[in-house]
Structure 1
Amino acid sequence: MANLRVFTTRSTVSLSPGQGFPAYMRIAIVINTSWNIYNFRMSLLQALLAEGHEVVAIAPEDSYSHKLVEAGCRFVPVRMAKGTNPFEDALLTWRLFYTYRQVRPDVVLHYTIKPNIYGSLAAHLAGIPSINNVSGLGTVFITKDYISNIALKLYRAAFRYPAKVFFQNQDDRKLFLKHGLVKAAITEVLPGSGIDVQKFVPNATFQRHQPFTFLMIARVLYDKGVKEYVEASWMVKARFPEVRCQLLGRVDERSRSGIKQQQLEEWIATGAIEYLGKTDDVTTVIVQADCVVLPSYREGTPRTLLEAAAMGKPLIASNVPGCREVVEQGVNGYLCRVRHAADLADKMMQLLQLEDGQLQQMGQASRRIAEEKFDDRLVIARYLQAIKEVTKDKG
């Protein structure tokens, strides 16, 4: 194999020990896309850099990789094929092992399914402690087929090795324990990836938009409840034709749960929804919505709901793991039955008929929940402590 390509820029942070760490550590963050690191883990990355540590981002190279370098990281590209291919997955374990042996991090932080599984095996073989984060179970516990059975066996084999496994809700943790996939002693629940409550803020004054606007933010997948959202939007518009129902998120036809572009275009053509494509500036879209909707089949702790809550928006989501951690029934929104378009439509109509004062109170409750339960500083503090614990012999 050719030598590793490493992209780096000089970090401007001061090199000072902090919170009982060794004076300097090299910490690797491994995720399935650079986009994911940049959009969901930058607060943690910046906190580690501020502590004076070297951060190495390991992920497939994409258009966000250079932004990680600009933020002060080293970037090491590693190819991760989508889908389930035993040969490719075996190669990924070897590629990550090779990368870890070359980079020689003091600790590896794994996120998303393939890094969690194959990265754990590679880190174990390389003799490097690892911390995993189960940010959602994807289709493993939703679609019951031979692939999900294989995934369970792989989790059971790989999760013998991490020093710590973080979950984003108690339901997922209990499910892993029930199936004997991980030892309880190394598990802990975090409030998702947290949310930067200084970046995501409400408008200074309450505004009800005309027409009333619902917004769903998610990849265009069946498992996210897109089909139910389209059907519910039709029902709502049948009674309130002026209402806008928008969908923001990228099409992912290669996913097991992916919705074909042709199907999406047919739904758009009916007028049920407006498709907004994708954007890196989600705040400008959320601010124009009256309510954010996520009828997902299962989540870790959905980032889109956290962003909307921090911006003071009422929420509607499925009564499933992950979503019900963010949405409190009747307080900051409504929970609907999973895979049930009619119930989702009913909740949407209930909310849009609320008086302005009631709508404003729900939005304020969302903001309070974001501040009290999901401030990303809580997540960062726990990660700093966990890194200290698993690397204590290196001090």
Structure 2
Amino acid sequence: MKKILFVVNVDWFFVSHRLPLALKAIEKGYEVHLSCALTDKKDYLEDIGLKVHPLNLSRSSVGLKGEIKTFFGIYNTLKEISPDIVHFVTIKPVLYGGLCTKFLNIDKKVFSISGLGFLFIKEGVKASFVRSIIKTIYRIVFSGNNTHIIVQNPDDKSLVNSITKAPTTLIRGSGVNLKEYKYFKENCENVKVTMACRLLKDKGVFEYIEAAKMIKQKFPMVEFGLYGDTDIYNPASLTNEEVDKIKKDKIVEIYGFNKYISKIFSDSNIIVLPSYREGLPKVLIEAAACGRAVVTTDVPGCRDAIEVERTGLLSKVKDPKSLAESIERLIQDNELRNSMGKAGRELAEQEFDINKVVEKHFEIYES
């Protein structure tokens, strides 16, 4: 029985973005292992057949001692399991795991660059210095044989290709189960605009709030919703005080995390994500599957999740006025909104079907 090991940052991310890969591997007869930081998903993952290995990994910086502990945690797990295939996902597993494999004999190493993270958005001398260090480590990690890299958008592919000559495949996102995310005709009686994400500054939360303020001056009956929670491990997270202020202002209703996002989107008319940079945001894939028009920003990842003027509109990044203008255009044009929603569903069926995404991954695993 061949063994495959997934190394990711945290269990809930694996469940939301990579679980179908593990389920397919089990179906194909693999012994499937997962190493990650744990929240409350361990029992569930073990019940469906995964062998779970806790990893002391913090998604925020914890100092040199903590990072060394994470490195050796990954190393010891790799050495103990001795997988035939190892798939590293998210930045720390990719960097630390890739370095660990330099000292071990692994038949197949797969690295997923699912967005380049906070440091590739942040400006300033310190961020630029850290980026140069990370790129250098990437060069070391991606060198050698039996390595394959997966990226989610053309910009990240170009960056990776500037660093390494290792085989690189573009797979547009993590996929969506089209049986769970169905198309329903939208209700046009009162327009609902929805944003769903972790409550981070670089997701464009404040731009969304400002755009909603502008629009409500002209269209007071339009409803604006925001679904998601803060993320204390991310430096860009909103504070509790900032969330409380948004609630107090009552321009946008904050509902917190909701696992029934397909119903939320079906009950909405427009889905918005004014992010600063992404890999390829799953929320926009889900919006397309539900047949809803999208407004997002003209940045890597976001612009690659739509077909401009066919399934959605682009606005300028960090520009509430531009965002408001795009949303307003869709509020006023029911026909355009509906046509974009139907085209979005077609796009999801062609490009984002989870079965196609899983198939592409196993072509890489088994090549």
Shorter-chain TM-score range: over 0.9
Whether 1:294 aligns to 2:277 is no
1:37 and 2:30 correspond: no
Quote the Cα distance in structure 1 between the aligned partners of 2:306 and 2:172.
13
Structure 1 residue ranges without an equivalent (≥5): 1-23, 390-395
Contact 1:228 1:340 in 2 (8 A): yes
Once the two structures are TM-superposed, the CA of residue 234 in structure 1 deviates from its matched residue by 0.6
2-structure distance, mates of 1:280, 1:70: 20
Instruction: Tell me which amino acid in the other structure corresponds to 1:213.
Output: K
The correspondence of residues 154-233 of structure 1 with structure 2, limited to 5 A, is 154-161=137-144, 163-178=147-162, 180=163, 182-183=164-165, 185-203=166-184, 206-233=185-212
Counterpart residue identity of residue 265, structure 1: D
1:88 positional shift: 1.8
Q: Could you list the per-position Cα deviations for residues 320-348 of structure 1 after superposition, in whole angstroms to 9, with x for gaps in the alignment?
A: 11111122222112111111100000001
TM-score when scaled to structure 2? 0.94
Q: Under a length normalisation based on structure 1, what TM-score does the superposition of the two structures give? A: 0.87
Amino acid at match of 1:194: G
> Aligned letter for 2:187?
R
User: Do structure 1's residue 330 and structure 2's residue 330 form an aligned pair?
Assistant: no
Partner of 1:310: 289
1:90 has 2:97 as partner: no
Where does residue 111 of structure 2 map in the other structure?
132
Q: Choose 374-383 or 293-302, whichever is displaced more.
A: 374-383
Equivalent residue, structure 2, for 1:12: none
* SS at 2:44 equivalent: helix
Report how many aligned residue pairs link the two structures. 360
Choose 284-293 or 121-130, whichever is displaced more. Answer: 121-130
Tell me which residue corresponds to 1:359. Answer: 337
- Kindly report the root-mean-square deviation, in angstroms, between the aligned alpha carbons of the 2 structures: 1.5
AA aligned opposite 1:147:
V
Structure 2 residue aligned with 1:113: 91
SS at match of 1:188: strand
Match of 1:7 in 2: none
State whether residues 187 and 267 of structure 2, in contact with CA within 8 Å, keep that contact through their aligned partners in structure 1. no
**Using the alignment, how far apart are the partners of 1:89 and 1:209 within structure 2?**
51
Shift of 1:152: 2.8
Q: Name the aligned partner's letter for residue 2 of structure 2.
A: M
Residue 316 of structure 2 aligns to which amino acid in structure 1?
Answer: R
Assess if the C-alpha contact under 8 Å between 1:169 and 1:191 holds in 2: yes
- Bigger shift: 358-367 or 154-163? 154-163
Deviations 1:123-149 (A, max 9, x none): 332221310100101122211324334
Q: Deviations over 1:7-60 (max 9, x none)?
A: xxxxxxxxxxxxxxxxx3110111111111111112111111111111111111
Q: Distance in 2 between matches of 1:240 and 1:382?
A: 45
Question: Conserved in 2, the CA contact under 8 Å of 1:108 and 1:123?
Answer: no
Indicate conservation of the 8 Å contact 1:117/1:159, yes or no: no
Cα drift, residue 208 of structure 1: 2.1
Structure 1 counterpart of 2:358: 380
* C-alpha displacement of 1:268: 2.1
Q: Where in structure 2 are there 5+ consecutive unaligned residues?
A: none
Equivalent AA in structure 1 for residue 297 of structure 2 = S
Q: Hey, what's the Cα distance between the residues in 1 that align with 2:91 and 2:14?
A: 14
Q: Which amino acid in the other structure matches residue 140 of structure 2? A: A
Tell me how far 1:273 sits from its aligned partner: 0.8
- Code of the residue aligned with 1:251 in structure 2: it is T
- The whole-number CA distance in structure 2 between the counterparts of 1:103 and 1:171 is 34
SS at 1:32 equivalent: strand
Distance 2:46 2:299 in 1: 37
Cα deviation code 1:51-88 (max 9, x no counterpart): 11111111112111222112211111111023233332
Verify the 8 A CA contact 1:58 1:78 in the aligned structure 2. yes
Tell me, yes or no, if the aligned pair for 1:191 and 1:374 is still in contact at 8 Å: yes
- Contact in 2 for aligned 1:57/1:76 (Cα 8 Å): yes
Match of 2:213 in 1: 234
1:292 counterpart SS class: strand
Deviation of the 1:284 alpha carbon: 2.3
